[in-house]
Amino acid sequence: MDVVHSRRLVAGVLGGLVGAAIVGVLPSGETLSPFALALAGIACGGIFAALLGTRALGPGSSLVWALGYGFLVWIVCCAFVSLGGHSDDLRMPMIDVVRSRFALLVAIVLASVVVGISVGFAALDERLEARRFHFARAVCAGGFAGVFGGWAFGKWMEQAGFFPLIAGLVRSDSVSVGVSLHFTIAIVIGASFGLLFQREISGLGSSLTWGAAYGIVWWFAGALTFLPLLLGKEPDLTYTHAAALFGSLVGHIVYGLIVGLLYAMVDGTWLWLFERSDPLNRAAEGSGTIALSSLWRGGLASVVGALLFSIVMLQTGTLTRVAQIAHGTTIFEGFVVHLVIAAIIGASYGVLFHYEVLDDLSAAGWGAVYGLIWWFLGPLTLFPILIGGSFTWTTAAADAQLPSLIGHLIYGIALGLVFRDLERRHLARLFVDERLKRRWMRRQRPIGTPAPALWLFFLGTGVVLPIILG
């Protein structure tokens, strides 16, 4: 065993011990003895370091792998309670079992953060020299993105009257103090995003999803855990209390989406202006051509997904509601508006993810993620605004839109797979020179990066939380 592997294993074990302490300290509902919790933490941390440590090339990638791993551990714990627990547990409906283990999910997510970051720092080695890290770029780009993400999140906080609560962190009840603290925290979290994920950012789409997942992590860590602790209260990790903070969950996701997208744009612009230079090699296509062709293929790929989604909308009677966006009233008008919106979303997918898709699995994964993102952005946020109302980040609204959640996932998967096929055909005609193909492949996300863990964590929590909190 070399030095790097030994460091990873030690970091995983120590991180597992800290994670076990978090599970033991927080009201997670676990009744294991401290010794049993310590053994469980050592085992989980050691297994993570041994199985996934070689894929952890830094704190950001390791954190994502750990979050996916932790979500699987939580699923196993729920299955154990459902299939092998006490007789009282065996008579519980599955939804009640999952809700009874919500506090454990919070503790496991926090423990996963500790394990992932510790293993990631231990894994830093010479392989990362090719991925240059620039501290100032990470902090400035992340902080800049955090301002705009904080502005969007602040709209909900103003509506919900949360700014005096934030001001309570410094023993004040002033709204202006709460606003100042909110933006300070938003900037710090945005800067931390840049520090953790600068090496992982390879495109706008992946950064968008990284940001959304990071927002969910901060909902667990901030709104549910650190905020009450800093206010001198014991965290309430019951699912009923979490349901009351569902608006905060959506706000954290929207914040993360904006931070991820803006960070990738600012970071890429910085590299283009100050660092990236390649005068000897020409790209296969110009940037404008790539953007336009990706827009066209994304819009075309959206047709299949939109048609499948329309079946769900017909069954739930939502096409007439969609027609209200264009001041229509009929199902046909709603169907036309639905196709237009689907084409716009599909076109944006083409621009954001055209460098991310390597195979059919990644096409389905990124497509499903993008569909879920638009469930949060569409029926819960933009659609109520477009018909003259206000965004509705409540469990009641989410519960009413659960059929739409299924439709968005179906739409996203179909969009990703069809776009993958169109992209493959386009590239086959484009790569008349092998050098052009190699140049294109260097810009894509390599196999082995933590994209599968990102899909698992974001899709898992993004689908499960609205269900168990509703």
**pLDDT 10s digits, 282-312:** 555 555 666 777 888 888 889 999 999 999 8
Is residue 282 in some structural domain? no
Q: Does residue 173 share a domain with residue 137?
A: yes
pLDDT at 84 over 60: no
* Mean pLDDT in residue range 354-374: 90
Residues 42 and 157 in one domain: no
In which domain, by residue range, is 98 found? Answer: 3-127
Q: Please indicate, yes or no, if residue 150 is contained in any of the structural domains.
A: yes
Reading the block at residue 347, the tokens are 């076109």
Say yes or no: 207 and 332 in one domain: no
Q: Is the pLDDT of residue 5 over 80?
A: no
CA dist 12 and 44 (Å) reads 8
Which tokens sit at 340? 């237009």
Q: Does 261 lie in the same domain as 168?
A: yes
pLDDT digits (tens, 9 = 90+) for 383-412: 888 888 788 899 999 999 999 999 999 999
Q: What is the mean pLDDT of the chain?
A: 85
Shared domain for 342 and 369, answered yes or no, is yes
If asked whether residues 168 and 95 sit together in one domain, one would say no
Looking at residues 127-138, what average pLDDT do you find?
A: 68
How many other β-carbons are positioned within 10 Å of the β-carbon of residue 120? 25
- Do 210 and 71 belong to one domain? no
Which of 23-32, 270-279, 324-333 shows the lowest per-residue confidence on average (mean pLDDT)? 270-279
Is position 308 within any domain?
yes
Q: Residue 417's pLDDT band (boundaries 50, 70, 90)?
A: very high
State residue 388's pLDDT score: 81
Of the candidates 208, 164, 160, the residue with the CA atom closest to the CA atom of residue 182? 164
Q: Enumerate residues 6+ apart whose C-beta is below 8 A from 200.
A: 58, 60, 61, 64, 206, 210, 449, 450
Residue 280 lies in a domain: no
For residue 406, what pLDDT is reported? 93
**Residue with tokens 């299955």, as numbered in its chain:** 79
- pLDDT on residue 55: 79
In a domain, 281, yes or no: no
* Same-domain status, 338 and 368: yes
Counting beta carbons within 10 angstroms of the beta carbon of residue 8, is it exposed (0 to 12), middle (13 to 18) or buried (19 or more)?
A: buried
Residue 350 lies in a domain: yes
Of the ranges 32-36, 135-139, 296-300, 338-342, which one carries the lowest mean pLDDT score?
A: 32-36
Domain boundary residue, one of 83, 99, 127: 127
Q: Across residues 235-239, what is the average pLDDT?
A: 91
Q: For residue 37, how many other CB atoms are within 10 A of its CB?
A: 20
Q: Which of 74, 95, 127 is the last residue of a domain?
A: 127
Asked whether residue 447 carries a pLDDT value surpassing 70, the answer given is: no
Secondary structure (DSSP) of 128-154: GGGS---HHHHHHHHHHHHHHHHHHHH
Residues 310 and 431 reside in one and the same domain: yes
Average pLDDT (441-448) is 55
> CB–CB of 319/335 below 8 Å?
yes
Is 239 part of a structural domain of the chain? yes
Q: Which of 275, 296, 330 is the last residue of a domain?
A: 275
- Considering the domain architecture, whether residues 250 and 210 belong to the same structural domain is answered as yes
Structure tokens at 357: 């898709």
Residue 401 lies in a domain: yes
pLDDT of 286 reads: 55
Instruction: Tell which wins on pLDDT, 382 or 54.
Output: 382
Does one domain contain both 185 and 68?
Answer: no
* 91, pLDDT greater than 80: no
CB 286 within 8 A of CB 311: no
pLDDT of the residue at 284 = 53
Residue 82 has pLDDT above 70, yes or no: no
The domain tally of the chain equals 3
| Number of residues in the chain | 470
Do 177 and 120 lie in a common domain? Answer: no
